[in-house]
Amino acid sequence: MKLNERIDRHVVGTTLNPVLVKGFFQTPPHYYQWGLSHQIDQRSLDQLNATDLFEFYLRFYLTSRHKTLQAVLREVRVFAQKDANAAHHLIVYSLEDTRQHLLSLEWYELLPRLELAKEHALALAPDVADQLRPRIIGCLEASY
């Protein structure tokens, strides 16, 4: 299905702005690019790249390009195996950022899918006791 057809299917009979919805569909990964532009260390760049992959597949799931969470959860598992603490915190950050984006678009019907994705993702990347939130998140919050 072509992008414009997919958007038309989502916005028909709603107050959704097709231009903003198209922007959500086409938003490229941005965390890694942000890290490059801010010249952060390689470990943090790897974490941001993993966050981009997670968010990429999350958007596919939210917009029904993928019917299941399989790809999203695969990326969570890989990220959590490499760095469980960063995975938890960056996935939480990405989920909240996505939630705010959906709310700004008034795309409320996708929120239940987001909550389901959150529940499953955080089961695979739970909060690690006695671990601090990565500093990179504070930098992201200040920039966005």
**pLDDT profile of the chain (144 residues), mean per 10:** 72 74 76 93 95 94 90 97 94 96 89 97 88 86 82
pLDDT in the model for residue 3:
67
Q: Is 89 exposed, middle or buried (0-12, 13-18, 19+ CB in 10 A)?
A: buried
Do 59 and 24 meet the contact criterion of CB atoms below 8 Å apart?
Answer: yes
What is the domain partition of the chain in residue ranges? 31-124
pLDDT at position 1 is: 59
What single-letter DSSP state applies at residue 15?
-
Q: What is the value of pTM for the model shown?
A: 0.85
d(CA 51, CA 85): 13
49 neighbors 28 (Cβ within 8 angstroms): no
Do 125 and 34 form a contact (C-beta atoms < 8 A)?
no
The confidence score (pLDDT) of residue 119 equals: 97
Choose among 51, 66, 67: nearest CA to 121. 51
